[in-house]
Every structure is written in structure tokens, then in C-alpha cells.
Amino acid sequence: MALLERFRRRDREAAAPLYAAVVAKAREPHWYIEGGAPDTLDGRFDMVAAVLAMVMLRIEAEPAGDTGAATLSTDITERFVDDMDAQVRQIGFGDIVVGKHVGRMMGMLGGRLGAYRTAIAAGDLREPLIRNLWRGEAPADDAATYVSDGLQAFHRSLATVPLAALREGRLA
């Protein structure tokens, strides 16, 4: 029976509330005003990736083998792929290149997730944020600190949010 479950069609909308909350959190004006995050396509992508990485790190904190966590991780990743596919198409890319662009974005998310995982453990996200969010151009030190501290505080707050609440889009 478990084998059949693997092949059952997934509910593509299952993580819609959580993904909407991630995007809303990433679009909060303070990241761009006080934090100096670039208000560009790349900057907005990187803020979504940073917030999503914090959520995914929270999901990773569940005990190994937790099928609910594994399902939520898959569902939120699928929502990200669906959103990036739609964004790339909206920009005007055709079917032939959409897959390549979305694949690159998935690779970028994976790289950022790894970098942020390491930086969270070290207690300072500034270096990977400068490399990713600001594309290597260091902002004012207070801006980098603001975003680093804000994402770390967000990560800490997620630790108290049950998995079921996350799935519903409740981030705090």
C-alpha cells in the first residue's frame, strides 16, 4: 500500500497557504527600507529564497522519518517551482527555456539553503546575504546586520510553530 501512495497524485495546492505566507513575509517593506534589500526581480527572488530557506530549515528540524515534514518540504518546494515557472513565463520566456531557468532557480535555492544552514549555525547570515541578496556588493553594514538579525529572529520564532500551523500558513 505504501508503494501505491508514492504514485498517488499530489495535491498541488497543499502548501499554497504556507507559500503565500512566505512570499508575504519576503515582501514586507522593512527588508527593503531598513534592510536595503534590492527592490528588483533578483532582490525579491533572493528575499523569497531567504525566507523560504528559514522555513525549510524549520521543517528539517522535525525528527528524521517524519512523513508529515517530508511531505510539507516536498509540497512547499513544488509551490516554489510552480511560482518560479509562472514568473519566468510572465517575464516573457517561452516554453523551450522555461525549464532551464526554473532549474537554475532551484539550484540557486538549494545553494542558498546550504549557505544559510551553515550561517545560522554560526550565528551570522551577513556573508551569504552579501553574496546572494546583494550579489557580492556589500551594503551599508547596518543594512546587512538588519537583514541578518531579522532572518535569524524569524528562524528562532519558527522553532515554536507546530508543523500543522506552518502548513496553514501561520509563521508565528
Query: DSSP letter at 59?
Result: H
Domain boundaries along the sequence of the chain: 26-164
Cα 22 off chain centre by: 7
Candidate from 1-10, 57-66, 131-140, 145-154 with smallest mean pLDDT = 1-10
Residue 85 binned pLDDT confidence (cut-offs 50, 70, 90)? confident
pLDDT at 2 > cutoff 70: no
pLDDT at 150 > cutoff 70: yes
- Close Cβ partners of 164 (under 8 Å, ≥ 6 residues apart): none
Q: For residue 147, give the nearest of 169, 132, 158, 159 by alpha carbon.
A: 132
- % the chain with pLDDT above 90: 69
The average confidence (pLDDT) of the chain is 88
Query: Quick check: 54 and 116 in contact, CB under 8 A?
Result: yes
pTM: 0.87
Query: Quick check: 115 and 29 in contact, CB under 8 A?
Result: no
